Structure 1
């Protein structure tokens, strides 16, 4: 029994360092995206609550925007097929939870982030419906309006391009 305890403890520091390195890069990209969104002219003077859950947001809305970035366009076009058309369930992100203030009680909008994959990040900024659970993407997006964003990053975590569209959810 002691050997079972020693093995996990031996690898524990490595696992923490590895997780912190991934969180560090992700943190930079989430902050870049957040700063872009809050400084976007359409969001001036809005109070924005950031969800601490990662949502599997679709990317197909941006396929036509990526014509000038053929490598990213190919990855985006194959994104859902590579996932075998399976949608991931939302999951808690400690990185996002640490970054953003949860004390915002009255918000005009709720921001949901996707997982960062292939140096691309999706975000949905939805109008806050008072009767919906602001932590629940399905409730928030149901019959609502919002803005969707696609962030394309360079390998050094700097923003390469940003695309956005207004969207109406049925």
Structure 2
């Protein structure tokens, strides 16, 4: 008799758990298991020219818009150039691009967008130390930390179980001193 009561409780608990899982999946919070496994860990080294060296690991590089800049809607998108190598076995990415930054007036913007769902997302931006840092805007669920030293300015952005992460960093270049 005790075992029947225990069995009913287990079955009831299982039914509640299955209902909860079905509700979460129906809400679209978690896509299929293939997409849920995407991970990204990159370092972006920005030069004062607006070009960037991007190195690190990504499970699926197709979500990295800057690798295919012709997908941008900007009519001047053809001026952007990205050269990269992706190693399928190790998931390592090496890219050289100027498609992450653009200038509007005196303000530069570094825009890093990754459509899709990421279980783990981490991007470290190494910026020249003499930049005048402006606003930083990040998508919902994406956290960032800023640190500075004599040699560089670093912005670390990170998120877990995040959909369509993006971050925009505004900055101004310091004016070069004119030779006398």
Q: Looking at CA atoms only, which structure, 1 or 2, has the larger radius of gyration?
A: 2
Flag whether TM exceeds 0.5 (same fold).
no
User: Is the helix fraction higher in 1 or 2?
Assistant: 1
User: Is the strand fraction higher in 1 or 2?
Assistant: 2
Normalised to the residue count of structure 2, the TM-score between the two structures is 0.29
